[in-house]
Amino acid sequence: MSDHRDVHEPRPSSGVAVVTDSTPYLPAALAERWHIRHVSLYVGWDGDLRREDEYDDLDAFYARLRDTPQLPSTSQPSVGDFMAVYEPLAAAGRDVVSIHIAGGLSGTCASAREAAGMVAGAGHPGRVEVVDGQTGAGGLACLVVAAARAAAEGADPDGVVEAVRRARETLDIWFCLDTLEYLRRGGRIGAAQALVGSALKIKPILTFGTEIAPVGRVRTRRRAFERMVAYLRELHDRGATDWVVQHAQAREDAEQLVAEGTAIFGTAPLLCTEVGPVLGAHLGSGMLVGGTGG
């Protein structure tokens, strides 16, 4: 699955450049259409860390995740990785707005800010503004597209950052999991720790923010799916427009949620993609994501 909506608006390749990391899991066609660049995080087992965007067989990755007791390691991009993207743009006079996964979940923003400081110190004519998206996955995708839209409309860096801030105010992303075990073992469980040790066999529903936090729990996967559909309906009733669906090894559920959501919103989702290895390592297979960015 890839992006579902045919977004025609942009074409300018000058003006403010928008950069993100690999964790929004943007479809390649959408990123190309909006001139969005990305810097990849790393993931792997036994010290063999590879760029996340080099994993082209997600089925194999998730099979190993299920079958191997040891969790893979993940790492943010290096400062050099960011410099390789920022410096040519800034040297050519392009301003950059770089939007990334929540600082509470990853050190990616810290690396990006260090690289931005180096660009500023080098005296290049272009400047780099780094924004902590305070979210991840589809939520981050919504913020990045909001930034690209503002850039395509001719906004300056401050205007693009403001567009991200406005989108963040209306952002609402939920995801349901089959188990909290991967979050617990990976140390990213945050406020969802309160659900660990429940006497009931539950399917947690959580949200991406500065940390991963619980918003509900149900007994069955079917009930979790029904709650996600009801959630999309609530968002539509609030006036939301852009919406997204993502999954990890849950293609049928994702396709069904796209069908339900399309009937609710009257439009296809901004994107429907599979979550890749970095977030997959911490969340496990079976994840279903839904929500809106405005």
- Give the residue among 99, 97, 81 at the shortest CA–CA distance from 42: 81
Look at residue 132 in the predicted model and tell me its pLDDT: 97
pLDDT band at 10 (very low <50, low <70, confident <90, very high): low
Residue 199 has pLDDT above 60, yes or no: no
Look at residue 257 in the predicted model and tell me its pLDDT: 98
- Report how far residue 258's alpha carbon sits from residue 272's, in angstroms, rounded to the nearest whole number: 8
Domains of the chain are 17-169 (3.40.50.10170), 172-292 (3.30.1180.10)
Look at residue 245 in the predicted model and tell me its pLDDT: 98
- Report how far residue 76's alpha carbon sits from residue 112's, in angstroms, rounded to the nearest whole number: 10
- Give the residue among 33, 39, 36, 32 at the shortest CA–CA distance from 18: 36
Mean pLDDT of 148-174: 96
Residues 142, 143, 147: CA angle, nearest 5 degrees: 120
Share of the chain above pLDDT 70, in %: 89
- Report how far residue 20's alpha carbon sits from residue 22's, in angstroms, rounded to the nearest whole number: 7
Residue 9 has pLDDT above 60, yes or no: no
Q: Which two tokens stand for residue 14?
A: 């000058």
Mean pLDDT of 263-274: 97
- Report how far residue 76's alpha carbon sits from residue 62's, in angstroms, rounded to the nearest whole number: 20
Segment among 108-117, 180-189, 218-227, 234-243 with least mean pLDDT: 180-189
pLDDT band at 191 (very low <50, low <70, confident <90, very high): very low
Residue 14 has pLDDT above 90, yes or no: no
Residue 42 has pLDDT above 90, yes or no: yes
- Give the residue among 226, 203, 229 at the shortest CA–CA distance from 216: 203
Look at residue 6 in the predicted model and tell me its pLDDT: 45
Burial of 220 (0-12, 13-18, 19+ CB in 10 A): exposed
**First-to-final CA distance of the chain:** 22
- Give the residue among 135, 127, 131, 136 at the shortest CA–CA distance from 147: 131
Query: 72-127, pLDDT tens digit by residue?
Result: 999 999 999 999 999 999 999 999 999 999 998 899 999 999 999 999 999 999 99
Look at residue 194 in the predicted model and tell me its pLDDT: 44
HSE, CB side, 13 Å, CA atoms: give it for residue 184.
10
Mean pLDDT of 156-181: 92
- How many other CB atoms are there within 10 angstroms of residue 89's CB atom? 19
| Residue at token pair 């439009």 | 267
Residue 192 has pLDDT above 60, yes or no: no
